Amino acid sequence: MPKIYDGDLTKMFDLSGKKAMIFGGAGGFGEKIAEGYAANGVSVCISSRREDALKEACAKIQAVAAPGVKVCYFACDAGDEAAVIACRDFVVSAEGLGGCDILVNAQGINKKMWSWEIDTAYFEAMLHTNITSLMLTCKYFGNWMKDNNLDGDEFVPYEPGQPNLNKGYGKIINFGSVRSIRAVKNGGGGNVPYNTTKGAVEMLTKAYAADLRPNIQVNAIGPTITYTPMMVGKLPPDEAARNAIAKDLPAMRIGYEIDVVGPAIFLAAAASDMVTAATIYPDGGLVATS
């Protein structure tokens, strides 16, 4: 039971000692969240496919980490089931973090394709990376969280076709997007594939929250357009020109990577224990006003 229910309000946002697995952890959003967690006492394992990018990101995360925090990586394709199982086994081992109570899914790909030119193979690759890989990580890390950290509860063996009755403890944060619930106006901008995958993340998040209840909260973050490596070449290189895209929105700018870190800390902390199956939109007001 979180300390806040015992009246210790200083624990509401206290993440120290927690263990986070971050897929897409060498990417724009994933790495910033890893830095935010490590600076607040969370040991982190980051994962994506390119080992050189993971090593570089680990050095940056380590540079801001609080004393005693462990930073490590596991290179794999999050859409490969055997690799996700191997990653989970590494993370919960003593060589990794020795457990996991926070899972962040910040992996993803995005290619703009107009409806008449959609490349079916790439469309399916987007479904696989942006949806199937989240199903796999939530399955293997989410059920590990249910079977462990039981706080003294007895382990209940699985029955085929029946819900997992174990209680466990954990937080899962999936990356949706403003494009989970908003198409792009004035023609859609070639976003049929991306919109489709992000809409699915919204529903996958709600369904996993129902499946992994009651002590594992599953939520999503839905950022607005942000100049991460994913958006290089899709947005103007000039910062003022990029922000001008959003001049009509309440925030009058597009996002910065740091904008998702506050929500990621909230959704990993005891402060959000009654928040589940929800999406937080750090979007400068986009979904409310467009």
Ligand X SMILES: NC(=O)c1ccc[n+]([C@@H]2O[C@H](COP(=O)([O-])OP(=O)(O)OC[C@H]3O[C@@H](n4cnc5c(N)ncnc54)[C@H](OP(=O)(O)O)[C@@H]3O)[C@@H](O)[C@H]2O)c1
Q: Enumerate binding residues for ligand X (CB under 6 A).
A: 23-24, 26-30, 48-50, 53, 77-79, 106-110, 129, 133, 175, 177, 223, 225-226, 228-231
CB-nearer residue toward ligand X: 188 or 229: 229
The CB-of-29 to ligand X minimum distance in angstroms stands at 4
The CB-of-31 to ligand X minimum distance in angstroms stands at 8
CB-nearer residue toward ligand X: 168 or 193: 193
The CB-of-144 to ligand X minimum distance in angstroms stands at 19
CB-nearer residue toward ligand X: 78 or 268: 78
CB-nearer residue toward ligand X: 22 or 166: 22
The CB-of-222 to ligand X minimum distance in angstroms stands at 7
CB neighbours (10 Å) of residue 192? 16
The CB-of-62 to ligand X minimum distance in angstroms stands at 17
The CB-of-50 to ligand X minimum distance in angstroms stands at 3
Residue with tokens 């990417």: 27
CB-nearer residue toward ligand X: 5 or 122: 122
CB-nearer residue toward ligand X: 12 or 181: 181
